[in-house]
Structure 1
Amino acid sequence: MSTIESLDLKNLHVIVMQEFQSEDIQELNSDFFRNLSSTIGKLKNEEYDGIEKKAKNQIISTTTNLIELLVNKRLEKISNSIKIPYNILTDEEKFVIDSNDEMNERKDMIISGIINGKSKFLETTSTKHKTKPIAVRFVKEFDEIVGVDLEKYGPFKPEDIATIPNENAQALISNGIALKVRIEE
């Protein structure tokens, strides 16, 4: 099992323990999570039988648990901290906190719109959100619908993928009829 040698569980465990024992976020190599991902991906693609297969699966399971603990602890520290140096965060953590920053900006815009009597701005924002296109994959058959944008969509069969208004997509998702599809650019 050559890949196991490059995946140092003891080192990963030490990093996780240090993160939990310190109030400060520790600095990791910028490619730390990508390297872990690459190693796990290689390990998952290796074929073994018997005890070696059980050992491989246990290593993957243990590594997965350690990574989840580490990421969750680091994001908790980032959320609870007033100021963490941006340069010590991994690119993946920066990706997550950027969404938090956007959420805070949106919240401030809405509060400003409310307290400054900008009802037209709030109406426009609401309409844009309701009608913004969302890609979904249908898991159940579904008849034609009229979207909140007054356009017709469907009918749909399982595995069909469609782009429909957000408000309609969320209703279908919450009723177990469709799943959100994330389309990466």
Structure 2
Amino acid sequence: MEKITVNQLHGIVLRESESDAILEIDNNMYQKIAESLSHLRKQAFDGMENEMRERLVETLSNLSGILLRIRLEKAFRSESVDTNNLVDEERYVLDAYEEQQERLALITAAASKGKTQLLRYVSEKYRSRMITVRLLKDMEALTGADYEHYGPFEAEDIATMPYVNARALMLQGSATRIRWMD
């Protein structure tokens, strides 16, 4: 896959920031950026050359984030903006945002219309959802919110458990969440 230079990416970011529309970009833009960053990080230099390499990596990373934020801000702030030019990675983020908006509307409507059954269902579904975590230290067995037993665990074990239990472990610094792709 071809790589992208800082100058090329800067030009793309500049054009995107000057336009109200979401401009067409290469469908593999973020993959090209990742490839370029990977290539730069693998290079070994000494002294000043290494410092320059680090600045290039930092600049490419920053420009990538700016491009993503600019394009998504356009999609988020206006329903009249054509989102057909978004690439798959941007659509992935936009889909999550739209899901968030739908959930917000659902809860707001259920609360304002007194739909307690729906709110109880949502609450129960949320509390019972399972997530996967990586344990950061040895731990004794625990009883989950679902009354199932989990563990004992050794550091670096992977476990799937109820969200409320996993969240408590993460807040203690005993676990970190593993996010699987949809």
TM-score normalised to structure 1 length: 0.85
- More divergent stretch after superposition (65-74 vs 157-166): 65-74
What residue is the counterpart of 2:172 in the other structure? 175
2:10 to 9, 13, 17: 13
Q: Which residue type is aligned with residue 61 of structure 1?
A: E
Matched, 1:105 2:102: yes
User: 1:82, CA displacement in angstroms?
Assistant: 2.4
Say if 1:161 and 1:6 are closer, same or farther in 2 by CA, change over 3 A. Answer: closer
Shift of 1:17: 2.1
Q: Which residue of 1 aligns with 2:156?
A: 159
Alignment deviations for residues 39-89 of structure 1 (CA, whole Å, 9 cap, x no partner) = 222332334445443332221121111112221222222221223212111
The aligned amino acid for 2:25 is L
Contact 2:22 2:83 in 1 (8 A): no
**Where do 5+ consecutive residues of structure 1 fail to align?**
none
Q: CA RMSD in A?
A: 2.2
Q: 5 Å matches for 1:43-82? A: 43-82=40-79
Q: Matched residues, percent identical?
A: 34
Q: Which runs of 4+ in 1 moved over 6 A?
A: none
Give the structure 2 partner of residue 116 of structure 1.
113
State which of 127, 131, 144 in structure 2 corresponds to 1:130: 127
More displaced 10-residue stretch of structure 1: 88-97 or 50-59: 50-59
Q: Which runs of 5+ in 2 are unaligned?
A: none
Paired with 1:113 and 1:141, the residues of 2 have a C-alpha distance of: 42
What is the SS of the residue equivalent to 1:27? coil
SS of the equivalent of 2:58 reads helix
Give the letter aligned to residue 90 of structure 1: V
Give, in whole Å, the separation in 2 of the partners of 1:29 and 1:7.
11
Q: Is the 8 A contact 2:27 2:87 kept in 1?
A: yes
1:83, 1:174 → 2: CA distance? 41
Match of 2:39 in 1: 42
Deviates more, 1:47-56 or 1:30-39: 47-56
2:23 alignment partner in structure 1: 26
User: CA-to-partner distance for each residue in 1:86-141, whole Å, 9 max, x for gaps?
Assistant: 21111111100000111122222222322333322221221111111100111133
Residues in 2 aligned to 1:64 and 1:55: alpha-carbon distance in whole angstroms: 14
